[in-house]
Structure formats: structure tokens, C-alpha cells
A = this chain, B = another copy of it.
Amino acid sequence: MTLGSAPTLDDVAREANVSRSTASRAINGGDRVSPEAQAAVDAAVARLGYTPNRAARSLVTRRTDSIALVVPEPDTMMLTDPFLTGVLRGVTDGIAGTDLQLVLLLNRVDEAPGRIARYLGSGHVDGAIIASAHERHQLEAALTRSHLPAVFVGRPFGEMSHHFVDVDNVEGSRLATQRLVERGCRRIGTVTGPQDMSAGIDRLHGFRETLAAAGLPSEAVAHGDFTAVGGGEAAARLLDEHPDLDGIFAASDLMAEGVLRTLHSRGKRVPDDVAVVGFDDLGVAQHTTPRLTTVHNPVVATTMAATATLLGLLAGAPVPAAPQIFTPYLVEGESA
């Protein structure tokens, strides 16, 4: 160990008066090492401030000890979505206690497609958590090809061969829509999420099913993009086509915020003229005027579960039989 360079396993071994292999074993779990040797190595490690060289370890173990969090979201607006925050928090907490690195893979502005898929397929990470997947990104096929352990946060589109964890979006939108129905609304519309994302699709399904079951029409549908601005614009279109609307289900709180703004600017009182229910409960619902009635989406828990599944996969654990689906619940506000 020359001055200035980091201590190596050899330095530790020398310091502890054992062989390199014994030092290695002591450091990695302590299997087949005498208590004395273990103590000597531990002491040497502490004294030298030794940290294993990740590259060298990777080279022989053929693992990188890092996982990727993929957010293939091309829209800058989307990044401000508290959803990403929750995902970040979930993954971060999920790998706490492990020595896994988190490599963040965001879509770059104006970049050619395929970079992320290529990266994932190139063995740079041991596994991946995929959030906010759009159908057009075609990550699923690439993932299938590369055999990289991966878990989706939110149901993927294609063959159900991918692992995923999700919130029950159909049930959530059912809760939201049912609330409007029970409140007495009879002309109910919805501002949907993107229809190339499973969350957007599922929440529209729940909406339609609930209204059908209640014997109410469900043709008042405007598509949003999970942003506040997009939600406001969708609400404007909705009101133009259906001026008599008395209830709106917005498929995300961010969009609901835009809906409230549009309603306000058109002089509609909430909830008296038009009742509104959102979806997510990730912080914005408490800050709207009036406070938003919404459906709680346990993003952090969902993402932590996804991370746990991925860790299991990496450890060679038996494959879970079915995806974990988390249950949403209604959160009282003043808007419906």
C-alpha cells in the first residue's frame, strides 16, 4: 500500500497476519474462519479504512452491485410529478441496508430511442426498476431479450411475463367515481391519464365500469397527460362539450389541480356546481382550493415492494407467483 492509494486486500491480509484468501473470507460473511482470524481481519480493516474495490469484485463475481431506476419519461413536465418523488424514495429506502448502488436512467431531451434499452442490455447493472413506462418505449421487449432481472412499477402492457407491482387502479377509480355517484352527481365526466400507460388505461376502465353499474352515461371523457396544465385543458374541452357536467373524476391529483383551476375560471363552484375527485394523494391534494377529495396511491410502499422483489430475484429467490397489488382508499377532502 503506497501512500495516497487505497488499501487493498493484500494490505489487510498483511496487517492481520493471514493470507489474502482468509482475509477475503472474513470480509465476505466470515464463513470458515476462526474467531481469531476474523477478529484480526476486522481490526485490520478498521485500522486501514479498507473498502473493497468494487471493480475488482465485479470482475470476478460477475455482478455490478448496482441496479437501475428507469424513468423513460420524455416530458419535462412529468418529472415534477410527485409520483417520481415517491418512486425515488421507495427505491432508496428499498435498498437501504444493502450496498447496492442506484443508477438513475432518465430519458434525455431529444435523444434517440434505444439508449436505455441498450444500456440495460449491456450488463452494466444487475437489475432494474422500471417506472412510468409508456407503451412506445418498447422496453419490455428489450428486457425480455436481455434476461435482465427487472420489476415494473405499474403493470406493463405486453405478455404478462414481466414482474410487476401495482396499485389497483381499477378499484381506485371505482372508489373515486362511486363517491361522485353517491354524492348525487348524474352527469359525470373524467379527465384521463395517457392511454399508452397502464395507469391511464386502468383508471378509465374503473370509471366506465362504475358508471355502467350505476346506470349512468360515461361518454364525457377527455384525455390528459398527468400534468396540471394538461388536466386544465382537458377540463376545458370536457366542459365545452358537456356544459351540464356535475362531477369530474381526474385520474391524477396534478390534473385535478388543473381541473379546479378551469372550473374556477369558468365560475363553477366546487363542489356545489361540479364535484371533483382526484387520484394519488401525494401531497398536492391538501394544497388545492378547495382541498381535494382523492384516492390514496401508496407509491412508496409499491415501489419498496418492487425493490424487494428485485432484490429477491437477484438473490435467486423463487419467483413470486403473482404480482403484488396494493389497495387504494378514498381520502376525504372538500371537493366532493
Residues of chain A whose beta carbon lies under 8 Å from any beta carbon of chain B: 6, 51, 53-56, 58-59, 64, 66, 69, 76-77, 79-80, 82, 85, 88-89, 92-93, 96, 101-106, 108-109, 111, 122-124, 228, 257, 261, 264, 283, 287, 289
Chain B residues whose C-beta falls within 8 Å of the C-beta of A59 in the assembled complex: 53, 55-56, 59
Question: Which B residues are CB-close (under 8 A) to A122?
Answer: 6, 51
Enumerate 30 A-B pairs (CB-CB under 8 Å) in ascending A order: A6-B123, A51-B122, A54-B58, A54-B64, A54-B124, A55-B58, A55-B59, A55-B64, A58-B58, A59-B59, A66-B103, A76-B89, A79-B88, A79-B89, A80-B82, A88-B104, A89-B106, A92-B106, A92-B108, A96-B108, A96-B109, A96-B111, A102-B105, A102-B106, A103-B103, A103-B104, A228-B287, A261-B287, A261-B289, A264-B289
A103 touching B102 in the complex, CB below 8 Å, given contacts A111-B96, A124-B54, A287-B257 = yes
Partner of A124 from the list B56, B101, B123 (CB cut-off 8 Å) is B101
Please, how many angstroms separate the alpha-carbon atoms of A106 and B104 in the complex?
A: 12
Smallest Cβ distance from A286 to chain B, in angstroms? 8
* A257 contacts across to B, CB distance below 8 A: 287
A64 to chain B: closest residue by CB? B55
Query: Which residues of chain B are near A123, meaning CB under 8 Å?
Result: 6, 51, 53
The 4 A-B residue pairs whose C-beta atoms are closest, nearest first, are A55-B58, A51-B122, A55-B59, A55-B55
Shortest C-beta distance, A90 to chain B (Å), equals 11
Known: A96-B108, A102-B104. 12 other contacts (CB 8 A): A6-B123, A55-B58, A56-B59, A66-B103, A76-B89, A79-B85, A80-B85, A80-B283, A89-B109, A96-B109, A101-B103, A289-B289
